[in-house]
Homo-oligomer: A and B are copies of this chain.
Amino acid sequence: MPLEELTVADLSESELLARIFPRLNQSPSILLGPGDDSAMVAAPDGRMLISIDTQTQDQDFRLEWNNGYRTTGFDVGWKSAAQNLSDINAMGGSATSLVVSLTMPPDTPVEWVEGFADGLTAGIVGLGAPDCSVAGGDLGRGREIAVTVAVVGTLDGLLPVLRSGAKQGDVVAVAGTLGRAAAGLALLESHIPVVSLTAAQRALLDSQCRPVPPLAAGPLAARNGATALMDISDGLLRDAGRLAVASNVVLDFDPVALAQYALALEPAAAELGRDAMSWVLGGGEDHGLLATFPAGIQLPEGFTAIGSVQAVAPSQGSGVRIAGQAADTVGWDHFAD
C-alpha cells in the first residue's frame, strides 16, 4: 500500500512506533529512552522543572482552515515542541526531555504521524534545544487528534524566575514577537486563499502554525537579574495582568514602544480590515517572553523595553495600564467567552 493511503488502523502499535522512533533525536540527558514502563532522565542539580500542554484538533488548530490551508503533522509537532519548550524557557530554564501522548482517529494517515514526529524533532533542534529529546510516549485512539506533551527541564543550579517577583521601578521588557501569530490566525480564518498569500502574509501564517519562541532569552534573562518572567501564550494584556496580580504591582506600557510591534502588522491588518494593535495586545501563541528587570541595568540581548512597573495605588488594584490608562483585558480564556 502506498504511504499516502496508509492509516494508523493498518498498523499495530509497535509497527507505528517503529516508524516514529527513528525520526526522534537523541540527547544525553535521556538515561533510559522509550521502550520500558517509564523513561529516566538526568536531573543534575537535583531539581526538575515540569510542565504539560495539550493541543486539540478544532480547538488549537483546524485540520483544514477557512483559507484552504491544511495543518500538517509537521506543524502540530513543531508547535507542540515550541509551546512546551517555551514553558521551561519562561522559568529561566532549559528543556531536557519531553514525553508525548498522541491520540488520534484510526483513519489518521501514517504520513501525518510521521510528519508529526519530524516536526517535533525539527522544532526541538530548530528552536535551539538540541540537548532535549523525546524520552517516551503514549499512543491512543480518539475521535479527534489531541497531542499532549509534558516537558522537563533544568535550571542548571539557578533559581527559577517566577511571575511574582516584579518590583516597583523595574523595567518591563519583552523578547520575541508580538501579534504575529494572531495575524497568522486571522489569515487562516480569512477568505484569502492560502495560494494567494504574499510572502509576508505567509510568514505570518507560519508564525501561527510553527511559532519561534526565543529559547535563549529565558536563561539569559535569569542570569541577567530578571525579577519576573513568563511566556506570553494567551496575549500580552492577559498574561501581563497575571504577572501584575502575582507580583501585586501595576505594569504600565509605553504606547510608543508597542506601536513598533503593530507597525509591522499594518499591511496584513489593512488587507483584512483588522486592528494591528489588538493583535499585539491580545494575541498569544508567539510564545514571546515578558520580563521585568531592575531599572538601570542593560537589558540582555533580544529584550526590548515596553514599560515600567509601578506600585499599586490605594484606590486601584494590581493590573495593566497603557500610558497610565486602564487597559481592557483582551486575550484567550479556554472556557469563558
Contact = CB atoms under 8 A, between A and B. Distances in A.
Interface of A: 8-9, 11-13, 16, 31-32, 35-54, 56, 58-60, 86-88, 90-91, 93, 97, 99-101, 103, 106, 135-144, 146, 148, 150-153, 155, 160, 162-164, 229-231, 246, 333-337
Contact of A13 (B53, B56, B335): B335
A43 B152 CA distance: 12
How many subunits of this chain does the assembly comprise?
2
Nearest to A31: B47
A46 to B, nearest CB: 6
A44 B46 contact: yes
Contact of A47 (B41, B99, B148, B164): B41
A40 B36 contact: no
Contacts of A336: 9, 11-13
Nearest to A151: B38
Contact of A43 (B43, B103, B231): B43
Contacts of A56: 103, 140-142, 146
B37 A41 contact: no
Contacts of A144: 142-144
A254 to B, nearest CB: 24
Contacts of A229: 37
